[in-house]
Amino acid sequence: MANLKRMLDHLKSKGPLGYLRYKLTKARKQKRTNLHALKFYSQFIRTGDLCFDIGANMGNRTRLFLELGAKVVCVEPQESCATFLRLRFKGCPVTVVQTALGEKPGSDQMMISSSSTFSTMSKQWIENARRTGRFGSATWEKTIDVPITTLDEIIRQFCVPRFVKIDVEGFELQVLRGLSKPVEYISFEFVSENQEALAACVDHLRMLGEPRFNFSLGESLVFESPEWLDPDSLLSRLKTLPGSLPWGDIYAAFQV
């Protein structure tokens, strides 16, 4: 409905030619954004690599990984998202596993948001979001029971990936604790209001080997540090980020 309203507004104010210019400009911008994302992820992913998209949602990262020639395992507990992923990537080298990941196998409740992007296994994450107002009017009005497996088990089933992307809305620590051996590259989301969980994530990865870290802010897909950082340097940088409620992704690299 929002897209239709924008189209009608443009047709009224600019006419058909004005709307065509708007669409062409938007398409060029999307192409530039896509090329930037592909260049960024090409640092980690080569043709034929196996990638895990943990918390795949609608598959936006999966699409990029496929364009780079990767095979992808999507892990997504929400039935509507998992169904969409199977339809979207039918015929592609994509396997969709409808489950959550955690520290150990079992089951737990998932809080379902009015936007599937914000559905989460973490009650603390919801409390923090409500307290800070990070997601505005987002609501979590129902819960569902979901099965849980571990990263170790997914690796046992599908082999060791080159790159693991984790975006699980506050459940990153539990997912990482289900990993007992390093993989070459891991990314996971962070939010500034939960420094304790962030430090625990870094500490767990430190236990697996000798990781080096970098990070990007928001959806920039630009590294904030010109050099890869040791764990303590990363945590120091993240404690002093400017702005209100900064967030982004942390990247860990291991020699394997």
pLDDT (tens, 9 = 90+) of the chain, 256 residues, equals: 455 566 556 555 666 666 556 555 555 666 677 999 999 999 999 999 999 999 999 999 999 999 999 999 999 999 999 999 999 999 999 999 999 999 999 999 999 998 889 999 999 999 988 888 888 878 898 999 999 999 999 999 999 999 999 999 999 999 999 999 999 999 999 998 889 999 999 999 999 999 999 999 999 999 999 999 999 999 999 999 988 889 999 999 999 8
Q: Give the number of other Cβ atoms within 10 Å of residue 184's Cβ.
A: 16
**Nearest to residue 82, comparing CAs of 96, 92, 72, 61?**
96
d(CA 228, CA 161): 21
What pLDDT does 131 receive? 87
**pTM attached to this predicted model:** 0.87
Q: Cβ contacts of residue 245 below 8 Å, gap of 6+?
A: 132, 134, 191, 192, 193
pLDDT at 166: 99
Round to whole Å and give the CA distance between 256 and 223: 22
- Assigned CATH topology for domain 36-253: Rossmann fold (3.40.50)
**Of residues 167, 168, 155, 120, the one with CA closest to residue 140:** 120
Please give the angle made by the CA atoms of 157, 176 and 233, to the nearest 5 degrees: 140
- How many other β-carbons are positioned within 10 Å of the β-carbon of residue 256? 12
- Determine the pLDDT at residue 130: 87
Taking the domains of the chain in order of start, what are their residue ranges?
36-253
Q: 170, 199 in Cβ contact below 8 A?
A: no
- For position 133, what pLDDT does the model report? 82
Which tokens in the block code for residue 176?
């990482």
Give the angle 29-192-111 at the CA atoms, nearest 5°.
85
User: Tell me, what's the pLDDT at 244?
Assistant: 80
Question: Parallel, antiparallel, or unpaired: how do β-strands 185-191 and 212-217 relate?
Answer: unpaired
Residue closest to 250 by CA, chosen among 210, 204, 201, 203: 201
Looking at residue 87, its pLDDT comes to 98
Per-residue pLDDT of 19-54, as tens digits, reads 556 555 555 666 677 999 999 999 999 999 999 999
Distance separating alpha carbons of residues 233 and 48, to the nearest angstrom: 33
Nearest to 178 by CA among 247, 100, 120, 232: 100
Q: How far apart are CA 125 and CA 47, in angstroms?
A: 36
Q: What pLDDT is recorded for position 129? A: 86
